Amino acid sequence: MNGHTGRRVVTNMSLTLDGRYAGPAGPHDLGWVMPYATTDVARDHLSELWRTATTALLGRVNAEGFMGYWPPVADDGSADARDRGFASWLVEAEKVVLSGTLTDPPWERTRVENAPAADVVDRLKAEEGGDVLVLSSASVIRALLAADRVDRLALMIFPEFVGGGPRLFDDGLPTGKWSLVSHTAGEHGTVGLVYDRIG
């Protein structure tokens, strides 16, 4: 890619043991996430990802969810310090929201892009900054995987079968090899995996 500045596209997604990012009732069927999202391994996993990032890339639905929940956590003295850290980062970071319906961003430091995810990350990678972190936006991550634009793939694996629902990895993805950068395991059998694209 021309004009590459060294910025990485880092994607983060939680998956069930049977490979789903949502349950059989659809994209909002995420009840299985809740028992694991507040474990030490999940919080530490996310902390390692946002510390090197300066841009959050989100789909509209995820942006509304993240920005509806996280900003107040930054000032919540009773919240876990790692949650406050992430919330503060999210508020201060540049946010790029992919949407064909949203025109004026309702959040500060946010711009809306109505363009294919691959084109948007190509432009972002030509700009100065830290990593571009794609936060749990399955449609964005799937498009970037299909376009071979993911540099670092981070996964939280939660030990449940949900028996149905959408999968992150489609058939026909570009072939390639990945190197395991880190792996952690914690409460309830939760596992964090981080892979870098090597070819």
Query: Residue 5: its pLDDT value, please?
Result: 64
Model confidence band, residue 130 (pLDDT cutoffs 50, 70, 90): very high
CA dihedral of 191, 172, 115, 14, whole degrees rounded to 10: -10
Contact 17, 54 (CB under 8 A): no
Q: What is the tens place of the pLDDT at every residue in 144-187? A: 999 999 999 999 999 999 999 999 998 999 999 999 999 999 98
Query: Residue 2: its pLDDT value, please?
Result: 44
Model confidence band, residue 1 (pLDDT cutoffs 50, 70, 90): very low
Contact 134, 9 (CB under 8 A): yes
Query: Residue 187: its pLDDT value, please?
Result: 83
Average pLDDT over residues 51-78: 95
Inform me whether the pLDDT recorded for 133 exceeds 90: yes
Decide: pTM greater than 0.75: yes
∠ CA 13-162-140, nearest 5°, is 25
